[in-house]
Amino acid sequence: MKHVYLDNAATTQIRDEVINEMTNIMKNNYGNPSSSHSFGRSSKSIIEKYRKRIASYLNVSASEIVFTSGGTEANNLILRSAVRDLGVTHIITSKIEHHAVLHTIEQLDKEYIMSVSYVDIEPNGDIDYLHLETLLKTESKTLVSLMHINNEIGNVLDLKRVVTLCKTNEAFFHTDTVQSVGHYKLDLQDIQVDFLAASAHKFHGPKGVGFAFVRKNSGLKPLIFGGEQERGLRAGTESIHNIVGIAEAMDMAYRNLDEESAYISNLKQYFIDKISNDIPKVTFNGNSGNIKKSTYTLINVCLPVNPSKAAMFLFQLDLKGIACSKGSACQSGSSQNSHVLAEILNDEQLQKPSVRFSFSIYNTKADIDYVIGVLKELI
């Protein structure tokens, strides 16, 4: 049986070059970076070298990069400190954010005296920018939290437009860029976001490491206490091999970005053309079927399947060796519909199986031919 992995929005295969670099570090640079002896100083030097490398791709200062265990921790650090330490009493977000943001905001709303506003979502999955502008006209100290690329439907936020609205209304802006760092160039001097979260395993790096971008002099304070690591913003002995892994993966992603993004874009367009031809009643969720209006890395399709067969559809694909998902991997195993699709689809559409296929450099047109063939057979 052929095995096809099309769930790259959930996690990606680590590049061999990244594994080799990490293995070398684990074997030869095992000193604690906080130790004052030569082993420790060597490890500390490595961390700062790779921190600078990451910062250079975002056009920021190395001191503005805070290493975390991943995107979830980075989001928690930013959102919790904004309310606890920066005096934010009003958060504007959307109901189609990743649960790492939504659930954190829900918890903050229980713990603190604050308010939460949800910006309206257009039928195509875009946010209503005019409604956002209205919500920003408040006397409360406000933070806007909106993801750059939606992890389920691939819609792309106009970061510059949101930054301009936030600056005009003196609001902080935080964006989850877990699906965009490593896939898109982001110049944070040009796009003046205040806070950003990223994760290595979405661009062929290791799991268990990410970073928060925290703009200089923001006043953010730590979520985890203990030591003075990460300039006091994130206590705990640094995972040197993982930090090297995320930097190496980011380095390779941006050095090869033009070539690899073109390759993946072609795969996505091939998928769109083939499924539209072979399964004419298929529809595309959000903007994902339009390569000019969505990320090139994923597509989300609503399939013309009888509702009685919908519940087992992903399982049947898995039996055929196809890895994909109905939404975020963090919801895997849940019987509930995607909270993202619930905002943009009607009841009839929600009864049919919607499947997210996400692509990487390790996929081929032969993979797509196999998947479409299986879809036709099951439908």
Q: Of these residues, 166, 302, 324, 330, which one is catalytic? A: 330
3-state SS assignment for residue 118: strand
Residue with tokens 């705990």: 236
Query: Do 4-12+257-378 and 16-255 share a fold?
Result: no
**Beta strand segments in the chain, E:** 4-5, 65-68, 90-93, 115-118, 142-145, 172-176, 195-199, 210-214, 283-284, 298-302, 322-323, 354-358
Beta pairing partners, 181: 184
3-state SS assignment for residue 127: strand
Contact 356/255 with Cβ under 8 angstroms? Answer: no
How crowded is the C-beta side of 291, counted as CA atoms within 13 Å? 14
- In the sheet with 172-176, reading across from the earlier edge strand, the strands are 65-68, 210-214, 195-199, 172-176, 142-145, 90-93, 115-118
Neighbours of 53 (CB within 10 A): 18
Of 348, 327, 345, 344, which Cα lies nearest the Cα of 336?
A: 327
Please write the tens of the pLDDT for every residue from 278-326.
Answer: 999 999 999 999 999 999 999 999 999 988 888 899 999 999 999 999 8
Concatenated DSSP letters for 62-84?
A: GGGEEEESSHHHHHHHHHHHHHH
Fold held by 4-12+257-378: Aspartate Aminotransferase, domain 1 (3.90.1150)
Residue 227 CA to residue 232 CA, distance in Å, equals: 7
Residue 182 CA to residue 45 CA, distance in Å, equals: 24
3-state SS assignment for residue 300: strand
3-state SS assignment for residue 351: coil
pLDDT in tens, the chain (379 residues): 899 999 999 999 999 999 999 999 999 999 999 999 999 999 999 999 999 999 999 999 999 999 999 999 999 999 999 999 999 999 999 999 999 999 999 999 999 999 999 999 999 999 999 999 999 999 999 999 999 999 999 999 999 999 999 999 999 999 999 999 999 999 999 999 999 999 999 999 999 999 999 999 999 999 999 999 999 999 999 999 999 999 999 999 999 999 999 999 999 999 999 999 999 999 999 999 999 999 999 999 999 998 888 889 999 999 999 999 986 545 444 456 799 999 999 999 999 999 999 999 999 999 999 999 999 999 9
Please write the tens of the pLDDT for every residue from 44-74.
Answer: 999 999 999 999 999 999 999 999 999 999 9
Residue 262 CA to residue 39 CA, distance in Å, equals: 43
Contact 236/227 with Cβ under 8 angstroms? Answer: yes
pTM of the model: 0.95
User: Tokens standing for 278?
Assistant: 């072979």
CA angle in degrees (0–180, nearest 5) for 349-354-357 = 155
CATH class of the domain comprising 16-255: alpha beta
Active site residue 330: yes
Give residue limits of the domains in the chain: 4-12+257-378, 16-255
